[in-house]
Structure 1
Amino acid sequence: MAQLTGLFDRGGAYYLRVVLPLHHPLLDRYKSGKVVTSLGRCSHREAIRLGTIKRAEILWGESFHPKRIEILTDINRCKAATPDTAKPVLLRDVYDLWVQASRRTADSIAACNRAVKLFEQHTHNPPLNQMTRSLGNEFRSFLQTLPTTSKTARDRLNWVKSLLKYAAQDLELIPKSPWVGLDIKSKTTASRQVWSTDWLQKLLGHEIWQNGQLPKDKKAGGLAAYWIPLLALYTGARCSELCQLLVQDIDTSGHVPLIKITDQGEGQHVKTTASVRRIPIHSELIRLGFLEYASSQKSISLWPDLPLRDGKPGSFFSQWFGSFRRSLDVPDTLVFHSFRHTVRTSLTRSNVPEPIIDRLLGHESQGSIGARVYTHPQIEQLKQAIETLETLNLPVVAKVDPGS
């Protein structure tokens, strides 16, 4: 007989019990963590259909979609059917549910879809219950024959593994993922480099920073071309974190001006929970006029002229910066992300404690319990650490008159 998790019969009527996951918005209303609703008097088959829809409405709310119900209904029938009558559940079905199960970036959806397509092309798309470990090993070998980096091959394997894990743990379609432990060793294609003083002088000797002559390329974002590399050099923040900054993220309410890296604003994302942080603004940035620039902005975004690509806010700026540094004959090993390594290296050389460096750069602190506790230092400690970064004595060319 077909089954649906949480479905039960009481007095001739069917009811559905749904256990709410952690952080579900309905937990404020249902303190027990469970929602029990009546499906009325109906046949068992109809109760499964209605219960599948009701369960989706409760768990996914506005993200409920008819396509999801179609797939879920087929899945429940598949669980109940005999091998001769079961409609096979494919990896593509799991992918469709995974896309709708949570908010995903466009890049994540596209990357996962590419991995599924490769799987379908190479394996002839077997049903989920026929995906053996040997098939996983064969697919892993196939990925490594493609003209891509080992990292790309590993990422594609991991996307399929993630779907299998989702099918096992969330959908309960298979007892466990058969590909657990399969991996591709990823080789670093380029060593991490830091910006030397000579290369920084080469970069910042450009007219952008010497006399405020801004590039005409729209991807540079006007004054963003001046400020974002300097912010990276004096904060260690990621390109995407800086490009998605809002005016409200520049906090001057306290005695130490701060940059807030957060995911609270519209379109803002962070890499991990540790990435949410506050970074004191270096005195050199203040001298160059950054606070005046921020306070003069009338828009929500700190960079009103910078185009943002959905799901990847630093993409266009990164493209411009790559072309720009190549025009200066800067080595390919020195990219925008190298500012981040430069900051970490500089802080380490100044004997800043590792947990404070992790806090400033948004890394999860490792080591002992004491070290992890130390990742909550006072703002004054963070300010002192930031001020150890070397100043380059640039001319003041980018101050903005708030009244202009």
Structure 2
Amino acid sequence: MVLNMRYLSLSKTGIWQFRYQIPETKRELFEGRRELKRSLRTTDISHARMLALEIELSILKQINGNSKTENSSFALGRTQPTITASSKPASAPDTAKLLDMYCEYKANFVSEKTLEGQRAKCRIVLDLLGHKSIRRIRRRDAELVQQQLYHFPSNAKKNEDFKSLSNAEILSLNKQLRRTSLSEGSVKDYMQKVSSFFEWCMQNEYTDVNPFKSLKFRKSARDRDSKNHYSMEHLYTIFSNEGFNKKPFKHTYQYWLPILAYYTGARLNELCQLYTDDIVEVDEVWCIQIRAVREDQRLKNLNSERTVPIHQQLLNLGFIEFVLQKQSGRIFNELSLQRDGYGTLASKWFGRLKKRLGFGNGFDFHSFRHTTATNLKNKQVNVDVAASLLGHSTKSITYDRYGKNHEIELLYDAINKIPELPVLVPKLRF
């Protein structure tokens, strides 16, 4: 058997990664996962091929055996064949080494961008702690570094004042300069990420306590007040600008993405990665299938996979005709695949547009998603139906585990309760 090289990819740090798409009919054998990811922990391609072949064989045995076997833990990347109970180290590695080990483990489950963000935040905290032995870091240390972070500058690496300084030196200097510091929400995020790191250290018996667990934070606003949505006045500003009414669009995504986001509530990358065969008719209703069935498609979580009926106004604007004239392939093929998916260029474009239109911080492309949720709520759409449309969990075992998908007709009626845009958007000429 020859390993298909498409299962191998090289991370930014030069480590080979294994990725395998699980057929939909076999996902129950792998705890419902759509994809298996595992760091091969090697920079050597020959060694990577050998390891990947072993994992692929393990996966195929489980699939062909059609039952859960002891191979599943290996295929899921949970085994540590070189470490046994009798070989547990007498003393823990230093915190820098432990962080590297933790990130290698996390690489199996999160995107590279998410992993690098977590690594950077953990490194700042560990630097401020002075890289003590992991077993010497206690609750008082955690509370102290939490207070220090309130004085740590936001975007420190982008500020010339802090160039080439260590994190401890940055903290000390900013107490004098008083540049904008981390917000309450940012400090909480730092602490949660470090807490996850310490939980892993505990599970692997490198320490006996997680001093960052259950730290207290002030709640300065309700969850719904911390997110901005677009009012009708905001929407008029966006869709009445000359880009939608006078000048021809340089790229078709610049026309369709904001409109699709308003009428579907889909995330930016969910829209950017659509293929023509993701647009289907279900019970005579045109729908968008939000899914990850290809290697270049990804979803935020399991609940994100869904089918969203297409709003009547999208049909009136000619969205189906636009898709059909593409024939096959990606719908917005002018967008290139980058580290974070296909949405990077579109996000930068919209960022420039909203800034030019006078929108400040707190408003971005994701605000369309909050706008859709607000519209559904104001139209008194059942919360479970809204969750199905937006790809959220209902946090109910009855519905999430045992309930099946809503009927398309019910979803179609709900999505069409979203009010029309407050400005007449002309059809895109193509």
Is TM (by shorter chain) over 0.5?
Answer: yes
Q: Which residue of 2 is the match for residue 41 of structure 1?
A: none
Cα separation, 2, equivalents of 1:259 and 1:345: 21
Q: Does 1:152 align with 2:167?
A: no
Partner SS, residue 258 of structure 1: strand
Equivalent residue for 1:354, pick from 383, 401, 404: 383
Equivalent residue for 2:118, pick from 107, 112, 117: 112
Cα separation, 1, equivalents of 2:186 and 2:383: 31
Q: Does 1:284 align with 2:313?
A: yes
Partner SS, residue 320 of structure 1: helix
Cα separation, 2, equivalents of 1:301 and 1:344: 27
Say if 1:210 and 1:394, in contact at 8 Å, map to a contact too. no
Cα separation, 1, equivalents of 2:395 and 2:126: 40
Cα separation, 1, equivalents of 2:195 and 2:361: 33
Q: Which residue of 2 is the match for residue 34 of structure 1?
A: 70
Q: CA deviation at 1:241?
A: 1.8
Equivalent residue for 1:210, pick from 232, 240, 245: 245
After TM superposition, the structure 1 = structure 2 runs for residues 30-69 of structure 1, keeping only pairs within 5 Å, are 33-34=69-70, 58=74
Cα separation, 2, equivalents of 1:119 and 1:346: 41
Q: Does 1:201 align with 2:236?
A: yes
Equivalent residue for 1:97, pick from 95, 98, 101: 101
Q: CA deviation at 1:238?
A: 1.6
| Higher alpha-carbon deviation: 372-381 or 155-164 | 372-381
Say if 1:214 and 1:225, in contact at 8 Å, map to a contact too. yes
| Higher alpha-carbon deviation: 276-285 or 96-105 | 96-105
Q: Does 1:173 align with 2:206?
A: yes
Q: 1:340 to 1:80 in 2, by over 3 A?
A: closer
Say if 1:90 and 1:128, in contact at 8 Å, map to a contact too. yes
Letter in 2 for 1:194: H
Q: 1:92 to 1:269 in 2, by over 3 A?
A: farther
Cα separation, 2, equivalents of 1:398 and 1:383: 24
Letter in 2 for 1:300: G
Q: CA deviation at 1:172?
A: 3.5
Say if 2:135 and 2:208, in contact at 8 Å, map to a contact too. no
Cα separation, 2, equivalents of 1:299 and 1:149: 46
Q: Which residue of 1 is the match for residue 146 of structure 2?
A: 140
Partner SS, residue 390 of structure 1: coil
C-alpha root-mean-square deviation of aligned residues, in Å? 3.5
Q: What are the ranges of 5 or more consecutive residues in structure 1 without an aligned counterpart? A: 1-19, 36-54, 216-221
| Higher alpha-carbon deviation: 154-163 or 368-377 | 368-377
Total equivalences in the alignment: 342
Q: CA deviation at 1:233?
A: 0.8
Deviations 1:191-219 (A, max 9, x none): 4333232332221112332256114xxxx
Cα separation, 2, equivalents of 1:76 and 1:95: 23
Say if 1:212 and 1:226, in contact at 8 Å, map to a contact too. no
Deviations 1:132-190 (A, max 9, x none): 22222222222222122222222222221111112223x34334534321254464697
Q: 1:396 to 1:229 in 2, by over 3 A?
A: same
Say if 1:294 and 1:302, in contact at 8 Å, map to a contact too. yes
Q: Does 1:317 align with 2:321?
A: no
Q: CA deviation at 1:31?
A: 5.2
Q: Does 1:265 align with 2:294?
A: yes
Q: Does 1:397 align with 2:427?
A: yes
Q: CA deviation at 1:109?
A: 1.9
Equivalent residue for 1:274, pick from 296, 303, 306: 303
Letter in 2 for 1:397: K
Q: 1:163 to 1:193 in 2, by over 3 A?
A: closer
Q: 1:205 to 1:371 in 2, by over 3 A?
A: same
Larger radius of gyration: 1
Percent of residue pairs identical? 24
Partner SS, residue 285 of structure 2: coil
Say if 1:355 and 1:371, in contact at 8 Å, map to a contact too. no
Cα separation, 1, equivalents of 2:399 and 2:84: 51
Say if 2:192 and 2:212, in contact at 8 Å, map to a contact too. no
Q: Which residue of 2 is the match for residue 162 of structure 1?
A: 196
Equivalent residue for 1:224, pick from 253, 266, 277: 253
Cα separation, 2, equivalents of 1:331 and 1:398: 28
Say if 1:257 and 1:280, in contact at 8 Å, map to a contact too. yes
Q: CA deviation at 1:223?
A: 0.5
Partner SS, residue 308 of structure 2: strand
Q: CA deviation at 1:262?
A: 1.6
Q: Which residue of 2 is the match for residue 44 of structure 1?
A: none
Q: What are the ranges of 5 or more consecutive residues in structure 2 without an aligned counterpart? A: 1-28, 37-58, 153-180
Partner SS, residue 180 of structure 1: coil
Letter in 2 for 1:398: L
Q: 1:172 to 1:60 in 2, by over 3 A?
A: farther
Say if 2:277 and 2:328, in contact at 8 Å, map to a contact too. no
Letter in 1 for 2:97: D
Q: 1:207 to 1:278 in 2, by over 3 A?
A: same
Q: CA deviation at 1:75?
A: 10
Letter in 2 for 1:93: K
Q: Which residue of 1 is the match for residue 227 of structure 2?
A: 192
Letter in 1 for 2:189: D
Cα separation, 2, equivalents of 1:173 and 1:361: 40
Q: Which residue of 2 is the match for residue 49 of structure 1?
A: none
Q: 1:277 to 1:144 in 2, by over 3 A?
A: same
Q: CA deviation at 1:354?
A: 1.5
